[in-house]
Amino acid sequence: MTAIRRCDTPLGPCLLAGDEAALTGLWFVGAKHFARTLPEDARECRLSVLDDAEAWLRAYFAGERPDPKAIPLRPKGTAFELAVWTLLREIPYGQTTTYGALAQALMQGSGKRACAQAVGGAVGRNPVSILIPCHRVLGRDGGLTGYAGGVEKKAALLRLEEIGDFSPKNESRREAKRGV
């Protein structure tokens, strides 16, 4: 059985999902792909993994650096998505990478070619936001690109981790340089 719980964060409400063994979902309410892997029979109830995830989120948003490996995760996805999400978990707090770099790392790890767009699709379908840090992936020029929870939330998460100045004013300048 999958348990769910709504959790408020400074960036808006999230939905947590999990079972007896692991957290299976963490979505910003209303995000693209919201709860897409959530079973229909999921229901609200107490579960220690949800308590732990909520405590982790409180510490994270308080500016602490809680260990993301302290929360057992079991996201549901294709083999390719799982490989991408595994790479995302290796991006350290306060650092970023690009979709192209992830594609290169996949190729080096498996010998299979992957394009940055395919990696971007898998990143966007990440069902465990923040703990699987898809917000740390930037475009090739270092600018913000899509984020299922919204680019404003992505920018706020990066600012929280003190990764550059992704204020709306600076993003507008970056877009102007790119000709967007």
Residue for token digits 């306060």?
A: 94
- Other C-beta atoms within 10 Å of 142: how many? 11
Residue for token digits 């594609």?
A: 103
**Known catalytic residue at 45:** no
Helix or strand (DSSP H, E) at 13: strand 12-18
Residues 130, 147 contacting (CB under 8 angstroms): no
Distance CA 123, CA 100 (A): 12
Q: What angle do CA 2, 25, 107 make, to 5 degrees?
A: 130
Q: Which of 7, 45, 115, 134 is catalytic?
A: 134
Please give the positions annotated as active site: 134
